[in-house]
Amino acid sequence: MSALLETYDLTVSYGGLHANSNVNIKVEKGKLTGLIGPNGAGKTTFIDAITGFTNVSSGRAEFCGQDLVGSSPAERSRSGLVRTFQSLELFEDLTVWDNLIVMAETTHWWSFLADIIRPRRKVGVEDQAEWALELLGLTDLKDRLTLDLSHGQRKLVSVARGLAARPELLLLDEPAAGLDTVESQQLGSHLREILNRDITLFLIDHDMGLVLSVCDYIYVLDFGKIIAEGTPEEVRKNPEVIKAYLGETAGEIQAQEGAAARQQGGI
Amino acid sequence: MKEALLYSIMGLGAGGFFALMAMGIVTAYKGSGVINFSHGAIAMYVAFQFFYLRNEGIFHFPWFDILPTKTLNLPVRMSLNNGVGINVWFAMLLSMATALLLGAGIHYLVFKPLRNAAPLGKVIGAIGVMTYLLGLASLQFGAIIPNPEAVLFPRGTFKNFLGLGGQVSHESLAFAGLAIVIGAGVWWFYKSSRAGLATRAAAGNEKGAVLLGYSPDRLALYNWMLAAALAGVVGIFSGTITGSLGVGKFTGLIVPALGAALIGGMSSIPLAVAGGLIIGMLQNFTGTWMTSQSWFPTWGQSGIREAVPLIIIVLVLFTRGKSLPVRGNIEEKRLPLAPYPKRVGIYVAVFVPLGFVFAAGLPGDWGWAGLTGPWGFHFSVTLVAAMFGLSMVLLSGYVGQISLVQITLSGIAAFVTARLVSKGGNRSAEFDPFAVEGPGWPWPLASIVGVAVAVIVGMLLAIPALRIRGVQLAVVTIAASISIYTLYFENSELTALQGGSAYIFPAPTFFGVNMGSTSSSGLTDSPRFALFALVVLAGLCVFVANIRRGSSGRRFLAVRANERAAASAGIDVPKTKILAFGLASAIAGVAGIMTAYQIGQTAATSYEYGIGLSALAFLYLGGITSINGAILGGIIAGGGIVAYFGTWHSPGLFNYTAIMGGLGMILTAIIHPAGQASIFQPLVQHLGGWLMKARGTAWLNSLKRYGPFIVLGAIWGVIGINPWRTDDYSRFWMALTGVFLVFFVRSIVVQIRAARAVKAAQDAELKKFLAEMEAAK
Amino acid sequence: MAEALIEVQNLNAGYGGIPVVRGLNIHVNPGEVVALLGPNGAGKTTTLLTISGILKPVSGNINVLGSSTLGERPEKISRRGLAHVAEDRSLFFDLTVQENLRLGLTPDRNKRAEAMESALEMFPALRPLVDRRAGLLSGGEQQMLAMARGLASNPKVLLVDEMSLGLAPIIVERMLPIVREIANSTGTGVLMVEQHVGLALSVADRGYVMAHGELTMEGTAKELQANRALLEASYLGGGH
């Protein structure tokens, strides 16, 4: 199995604060890899670093065996490394269809000359867009402005927009945020379908239920460091993970209880 | 060396002026995040107010008589002392009160409602205030005051200042001192007073300030009043420093002040003061000393003074553009939607022939309803203004770049073209249209080269836009506009034109047919030129529509909506912006050349930044995000079709163009950022569809529906508005105006109702959703 | 029982009309520390922002100090005596520590010097830093400053959002008892959102647990700790 994306001691610091420190992650082709961690653990920073939206302080990342250092976000996107945003960041003035086409089409410096003569020519990527819409059941919304859609629909459009590029690897940043339980389960089944179409996925989410149920392999990030990795079962039972999410382990809790009782009694 | 130092010190007076202006700009920015382009206009208004109080004892109110009646009038001025000047201290007090009133008014009426507007909306708001104040001042004061007196400052000069061998006036040193003293006071205010601290706090983190119980609105009000007071100080004390006092005087001086404010990072008062003083000294050093040296190139002698602040602004924004404070509002609105142009072919097929009928079929005098006068002229002005508007639609409407330099690009294209078509020698302009030497190219070729030069300059100016955005770009572009104006358009070394004269533009010909604007009467009202302009405009409209509909338009809107997401979609954002600047420059260039053909000559004044701002004003009124907006903007532009009807009814009406334009801009920015075109377009579309299909009953139904409004409006027009004008024409036109106004009010009511219905539907949906959630549990 | 300081009744709240919080009922009594728990995205921060008026509730009612806050602007609510230490800390980075504290001080002029002194007493680590710009502080120092600024207004109600976010546990362990002490000594009601369940429950009197915008558990700190398994389920997503 070849690694599609691999990071080597990736570190991102903001003024002395390590948002990511020495993160080593391997995303294998055809697998659904997940990254979880509590609020503020540095998950989005990681995606930003991989896709070029933030500067890497040290370490490096390789995509398809190519070093990513020095290429712009746009170049990375064109090379097949595509992301979605937690805040969606849709093109609100464009229709759903145009949102997808913008992502899918390749343009040249002379494209504007062609636009002047034939603005509505086929750009050769309509199939891709159709496919992405169909996969996520958005075909009916094709001509609507994204502005007018519901939150759940907008979430799906952002995933569809990522798919329309036919990426090698799609990085999903909190796609389930703000969805209710049913919607997030539907999303999970969509993700498995996407995987069957030769698009590798990397999922960041705080909905543990979703991540544990759909991912093949999971990394857990806390304080910018990878504290655990493994299959969903392994991660679920890992005491480090429970500690990261709840604060401390069962043993410590008892000690805390005692302390609390003493303190309350004392005042 | 001694001399260089002396000349620098002589610039201290102007430096103090810039420092005071810069403080005001920083203050307004801290308080509300607005770069106040109207700051100079406030200072100007107070300066006039003070002058008239002091010399004639007349107090002017900062408004005009808006009531359209002869009997009921708003007071606009008050004589305090029977035409004799009042005590200078009292005059000062009243002038400062005026400044405070203006500051509070600007806060409450303009920027409080625009608090969450997109950056473009705020820029428009500031330009609207400026346009209003300039219009108001020319209405109330008008004349230029050649030699305003110095106030309270010592007169006279140091004969041999510090042994440097030259004279330095007491006044300029005192003024610099005043700037430093006031600067110290303002610095203390922000450093130590609770309101000042809270202002700085809210500028950094509005949510934090709110959570601690500080009201951002209240803080903004205080800061606006402080900013206006600082402008008032400039107005009262600038005296002889800035020379004669005219309506437009201080507005142009906003650029060095912006430079100083940027040196202070839009936040530091001491640095802004130092920056102002330094810019004043540098300007005098370069503009007076350097240009007098033998090694200095003669072509650079004019305008080098104005280039100093531009260079500083570009340097500051380029090196620390990203570290400048950008006020993060809790919620910021987006630009209005840029509609997808549908049925472009049909539009062209309908409106071009219709335009032909208007332009050619009814030349000169119209036979009915008294339409007389230079109709062809006004029609052409509208067409050319619409072309210019299209350039801003593409750049600001589609890509969201606030560029105020488009008018300059127009000028560059026109000046280059004019130079290339001329073929004269060193003869006097009076007798020879080709006074300037040139290669004498045919006009189409020269025009293409002219446009190409505009495109190159436009793309060069786009480079700063890659690093900065929003309102900062507006600052750079307005500075560039003013600098290029003096460096090139007014520079006789570069243009080969003598003292303010203009290039003469030969009329364009097609296969020997003269399509020029000059008719047999010698006026620029030939319908033939209107035909020519109509074809060019139609071409440009299709050009812009196709760009919008194609892949470029998708990319433009993607960049406008969200640069991060655009980059993640593989769009090269810098290249896309440069492309947009290039295309917009091309359109602006065409508009500039057409302007020259329309006037018959090319003068610097046609391409002054103020012309560009007023064009932007009318475009914004029309709708900056749509092609229809550009056309509507052209129709209402100064000298356009509406102005034609206006002047014809009420000869003095053009005096009110600036005021109404300014008010209209502000109102549009607040109430309806998409512009008026978005209201008219569906109207026209529906009317078109209806006329094709409607039958007898439909006619009857709509008569029932709209008839009462028409009758009501007509009656109101005759009775209510007519007293304004009592000649025969008005009997007819005022009734129509009344109908129009009634429908306007009705459409607002309908819109409000529709908005309420949408809100109610949303609420119902939400309730349903919640009920379902409840049931699911 | 004394009248509740905060009373949230049947609250639906969220962004852009989309409810993130649904049908929430909670209250905080004087002198009480109440923990609001739950996994990320459960709607805890939204709840606090709605209580302090930054977000408008979609429906439902909130009483702060006995009267409704509906339609009230956030700065007015704050002036009633509510301090909110926000998740992002909302510090003024360009201002010094002292200036930050000054802005937080109580409106009562006579008590300002005293309040400043007691804030610095509670967080002695800030004392040598008073003239440093807040933007230059470390994460822990920033959090202390945010807390000190919140307390400098002598609030009657204190909302604390994710005090432990990005902080080393040792700092959190030092700061939590301060919250407890404030509640005990001044009768301030505290509502805190916290990730560290164990730590939070060690100082809290009562706790609420939210998931997917709804209340899933509530009870005294003891009861919640006893139901550890259920609590973990709602965090790790085994619940649905």
Q: Is the pLDDT score of C240 beyond 80?
A: no
State mean pLDDT over A238-267.
54
**What residues make up the domain containing C30?**
6-91+157-233
Confidence check: pLDDT of B434 > 70: no
What is the Cα–Cα distance from B316 to B321, expressed in whole angstroms? 7
Q: Is the pLDDT of residue B441 over 80?
A: yes
C200 within some domain? yes
Beta carbons of C231 and A246 less than 8 Å apart:
yes
pLDDT for C124 beyond 60: yes
| Residue range B461-465: mean pLDDT, rounded | 83
> Of C70, C79, C140, which is closest to residue C104 (Cα–Cα)?
C79
Query: Is there a contact between A90 and B562 if contact means CB atoms under 8 Å apart?
Result: yes
For residue C14, the chain A residue with the least C-alpha distance is A178
The per-residue pLDDT for B368 is: 34
User: Which whole-number Å values give the CA distances from B183 to B343, C115, C173, in the listed order?
Assistant: 59, 32, 47
Q: Is B540 on the interface with A (CB under 8 A)?
A: no
CA-CA distance, B708 to B702, in Å (whole number)? 10
What band does A247 get if pLDDT is binned at 50, 70 and 90?
low
**B vs C: CB pairs below 8 A:** 80
Give yes or no for residue B363 having a pLDDT over 60.
no
Flag whether pLDDT at C86 surpasses 60. yes
Contact A246 C212 (CB under 8 A): no
Q: Does B554 touch chain A (CB under 8 A)?
A: yes
pLDDT at res. B621: 87
Q: Is B197 within 8 Å of C91 when comparing Cβ atoms?
A: no
Interface test with A, best of C202, C222, C235 (most A CBs within 10 A): C202
Whether the CA torsion B662, B664, B669, B675 is positive or negative: it is: negative
- B323 class by beta-carbon count within 10 Å (0-12 exposed, 13-18 middle, 19+ buried): exposed
The reply to whether residue A112 touches residue B579, judged by beta carbons under 8 angstroms, is yes
pLDDT tier at B71, thresholds 50, 70, 90: low
Alpha-helix residue ranges (DSSP H) falling in B357-442? 375-392, 406-421
Chain B positions in Cβ-Cβ contact with residue C92 (cut-off 8 Å)? 200-201, 204-205, 208-209
Q: Could you give the number of structural domains in chain C?
A: 1
Mean pLDDT of chain B: 83
Contacting B with CB below 8 Å, chain A residues are: 51-53, 72-75, 77-78, 82-83, 85, 89-94, 98, 101-103, 105-107, 109, 111-112, 114-121, 123, 145, 147, 161, 165
Give per-residue pLDDT as tens, B506-561. Answer: 888 888 888 888 777 777 777 788 889 999 999 999 999 999 999 999 999 999 98
Residue C198 lies in a domain: yes
Average pLDDT over residues A196-222: 88
Mutate to test the interface with B, among A51, A88, A94 (most CBs of B within 10 A): A94
Domain at B2-323: CATH architecture? Orthogonal Bundle (1.10)
Touching B: C residues 61-80, CB under 8 Å? 73-76, 78-79
pLDDT, average across residues A75-84: 92
Phi, psi of B726 (to 5 degrees): -125, 10
> What is the average pLDDT score of chain A?
84
Is residue A267 very low, low, confident or very high in pLDDT (cuts 50, 70, 90)?
very low
**What pLDDT shows up at residue C87?**
86
The pLDDT tens digits of the residues spanning C151-197 come to 898 899 999 998 877 677 777 788 888 889 989 998 999 999 987 78
> Inter-chain contact C165–A180, Cβ cutoff 8 Å?
no
Task: Tell me the pLDDT tens digit for each residue of B216-268.
Answer: 999 999 999 999 999 999 998 886 777 778 887 788 788 899 999 999 988 89
B204 to chain C: closest CA residue: C92
What is the pLDDT, as a whole number, of residue A260? 44
Nearest neighbour of A98 by CB, restricted to B546, B554, B565: B554
Select the residue of C16, C40, C240 nearest A209 (Cβ to Cβ).
C240
Q: Which residue has the higher pLDDT, C97 or B431?
A: C97
Which residue in B has a C-alpha nearest to residue A125's C-alpha?
B551
Q: List pLDDT tens digits, range C209-228.
A: 988 888 988 999 999 888 87
Contacts of C203 in chain A (CB under 8 A): 260, 263
**C34 found inside a domain:** yes
Nearest-CA distance B200 → chain C (Å): 8
Average pLDDT over residues B78-106: 92
Q: Which residues of B touch A98 (CB under 8 A)?
A: 554, 557
CB atoms within 10 A of CB B718: 17
List the alpha helices (DSSP H) in B440-572. 443-467, 471-484, 492-495, 527-549, 551-561, 563-568
pLDDT at A254: 44
Is the pLDDT at B116 greater than 70? The verdict is yes
| pLDDT score, position B362 | 53
Share of chain B above pLDDT 70, in %: 90
User: B571 and A102: CB-CB below 8 Å?
Assistant: yes
Q: Please report the pLDDT score of residue B95 as a whole number.
A: 95
Asked if B194's CB is within 8 angstroms of C103's CB, the reply is yes
Instruction: Tell me if C121 is assigned to some domain.
Output: no
B321: which 2 tokens? Answer: 């553009």
Q: What is the mean pLDDT of residues B693-700?
A: 74
Are A246 and C232 inside 8 Å of each other by CB?
yes
Q: Which residue of B has its CA nearest to C10?
A: B770
CB contact under 8 A, C75 and B213: yes
Tokens 């955005």 correspond to B469
Rounded mean pLDDT, A189-212:
86
Chain-centroid distance, C-alpha C187: 15
Confidence of residue C25 (pLDDT cuts 50, 70, 90): very high
* Residue predicted with more confidence, B23 or B671: B23
- Taking a C-beta distance cutoff of 8 angstroms, is the pair C145, C97 a contact? yes
Residue A249 pLDDT: 45
Nearest-angstrom CA–CA distance, A84 and B160: 70
- What interhelical angle do B304-320 and B254-263 show, nearest 10? 30
Q: What is the pLDDT confidence band of residue B675, given thresholds at 50, 70 and 90?
A: confident
CA distance C154 to chain B (A): 12
Chain A closest CA to C224's CA: distance in Å? 11
For residues A197-207, average pLDDT: 87
Judge: B215–C75 Cβ closer than 8 Å, yes or no: yes
The three-class DSSP label of residue A57 is: coil
Which amino acid, residue A170? L
In Å, how far is C91's CA from the nearest CA of chain B? Answer: 6
Among the partner residues C196, C236, C240, nearest to A247 by beta-carbon distance: C196
- How does residue B652 score in pLDDT terms, banded at 50, 70 and 90? low
- Kindly report the backbone phi and psi dihedral angles of residue A172, in degrees, each rounded to the nearest multiple of 5, phi listed first: -105, 120
Banded pLDDT at A5 (limits 50, 70, 90): very high
The mean pLDDT value for C53-72 works out to: 90
CA angle (C49 as vertex; C231, C200 as ends), nearest 5: 35
CA separation (Å) from A253 to A62, A108, A261, C180, C231? Answer: 42, 61, 12, 18, 13
C92: nearest CB among B201, B210, B215? B201
Domain assignments of chain B as residue spans, ordered by start: 2-323, 344-683, 694-776
Residue C222 lies in a domain: yes
Tokens of B49: 């107010």
- Least CA distance to B570: which residue of chain A? A74
Chain A hits for C181, Cβ within 8 Å = 267
Which residues of chain A neighbour C162 with C-beta distances below 8 Å?
39-40
Is there a domain that residue C116 lies in?
A: no
Residues of A in contact with B567 (CB under 8 A): 52-53, 72-74, 77
pLDDT at A40: 74
User: Residue B672: is its pLDDT beyond 50?
Assistant: yes
Residue B156 has a pLDDT of: 77
3-state class of C25 per DSSP?
strand
The reply to whether residue C198 touches residue A248, judged by beta carbons under 8 angstroms, is yes
Each residue's pLDDT tens digit, B295-354: 877 777 777 887 888 888 888 887 776 666 666 544 566 788 888 888 888 888 888 888
Q: Do C103 and B197 touch (CB under 8 A)?
A: yes
Inform me whether the pLDDT recorded for B150 exceeds 60.
yes
* Res. B706: pLDDT tops 60: yes
Q: C-chain residues within 8 Å CB-CB of A236?
A: 236
Quote the distance between the C-alpha of residue B17 and its chain's center. 23
User: Which chain C residue is nearest to residue B764, measuring alpha carbons?
Assistant: C17
Q: Is A258 on the interface with C (CB under 8 A)?
A: no
- Give the separation between CA B639 and CA B657, rounded to whole angstroms: 10
Most confident option among A223-237, B131-145, B574-588, B729-743? B574-588
The stretch A132-160 carries a mean pLDDT of 88
**Do the chains contact at B570 and A77, CB–CB below 8 Å?**
yes
CATH number where C219 lies? 3.40.50.300
d(CA B182, CA B636): 44
Across the interface, which of B551, B569, B570 has its CB nearest the CB of A115? B551
Structure confidence at residue B393 as a pLDDT band (50, 70, 90): very high
pLDDT at B561: 87
Residue C117 lies in a domain: no
Subunit contact A236:C197, Cβ cutoff 8 A = no
Higher pLDDT pick, B71 / A172: A172
Chain B residues inside the 8 Å CB shell of C22:
770, 773
pLDDT in tens, B168-212: 888 888 889 999 999 999 999 999 899 999 999 998 888 899 999
> What's the pLDDT at B130?
92
**Is the per-residue pLDDT at B468 higher than 90?**
no
How close A250 comes to chain C (CA, Å)?
9
Chain-chain contact of B570 with A117 (C-beta, under 8 angstroms) = no
Does B543 contact A at CB distance below 8 Å?
yes
Tell me the mean pLDDT in the region A154-162: 91
Non-local (6+) Cβ contacts of C175 within 8 A are C143, C144, C147, C163
Question: What proportion of chain A, given as a percentage, has pLDDT over 90?
Answer: 32
Give pLDDT tens digits for A88-111. Answer: 788 888 899 999 999 988 888 888
